[in-house]
Amino acid sequence: MPENTTSPIQWAPKVKQDKLRRLYESDARGIRDDDLLNEVAFGLYLRCTSILEVTAAVKGRVKCHGCAAIITHAREDHLRCPACGWKAAWKDYQHSYQAKQLFGGAALPFFQAYVAHFNITGAYQDKLLAIDELIHQFHWYHKANQALPEAVRPAAANLIEGKGLVAVLAFLDALSYGEGSTVTPATPQP
């Protein structure tokens, strides 16, 4: 048996508020901290990748944690990778992501777009813009009796540490923008 048949199910953590705060503060002062930028950009990339993985798993396509092959499943008791033999009980898999805000929901297109366009070797401003657009997005819901979709939950609640939606929104409101900023506050759109 290959040794990875019981590899643990692990998910990327939310990005720490302090890192984003320092990134925005230094940018507002005209200081371009590439290391900090890359750390935040890559942290968000990993987090989005975990969100995409969990969202696909709930819809029946689990990415194997032994070899990354796709295991299609129909809520059976056990997941088993035909390629490498990795296995896990579906209830254990579910338990691994619950209460961690890893379901993409109505903000899924924004998480997908960030991953699709992610380029760690891109220009400083492009990377910061991508971060700014992502963290200011919302889960948009279109209710039957409304002409326009409604921004219900901040996507940042899936991405950034913070206790509850109010705390996450307060954190976003307090991010620094100044004369040296390479970005202006993003305007979320569905």
Q: Which residues bind Zn ion (CB under 5 A)?
A: 64, 66-67, 69, 81, 83-84, 86
Instruction: Give the shortest CB-89-to-Zn ion separation in angstroms.
Output: 16
Instruction: Give the shortest CB-64-to-Zn ion separation in angstroms.
Output: 3
Q: Are strands 150-154 and 70-72 parallel, antiparallel or unpaired?
A: unpaired
Instruction: Give the shortest CB-131-to-Zn ion separation in angstroms.
Output: 32
Dihedrals φ, ψ of 86, to 5°? Answer: -55, 140
Q: Which residues pair with 71 in a beta bridge?
A: 62
Q: Are 182 and 125 in contact (CB under 8 A)?
A: yes
Q: Cβ closer to Zn ion: 29 or 61?
A: 61
Q: Cβ closer to Zn ion: 51 or 81?
A: 81
Contacts of 74 (CB under 8 A, 6+ apart): 60
Instruction: Give the shortest CB-88-to-Zn ion separation in angstroms.
Output: 11
Structure letter (DSSP) for residue 180: T
Q: Cβ closer to Zn ion: 20 or 62?
A: 62
Instruction: Give the shortest CB-87-to-Zn ion separation in angstroms.
Output: 9
- Backbone angle region of 99, left / alpha / beta, with phi > 0 → left and psi within -120 to 50 → alpha: left
Q: Cβ closer to Zn ion: 69 or 123?
A: 69
Dihedrals φ, ψ of 42, to 5°? Answer: -75, -35
User: How many residues in total does the chain contain?
Assistant: 190
Q: Cβ closer to Zn ion: 83 or 174?
A: 83
**Percent helix, strand and coil across the chain, each to the nearest 5:** 45, 10, 40
Instruction: Give the shortest CB-54-to-Zn ion separation in angstroms.
Output: 17
Q: Cβ closer to Zn ion: 84 or 134?
A: 84
CA distance 138 to 76: 33
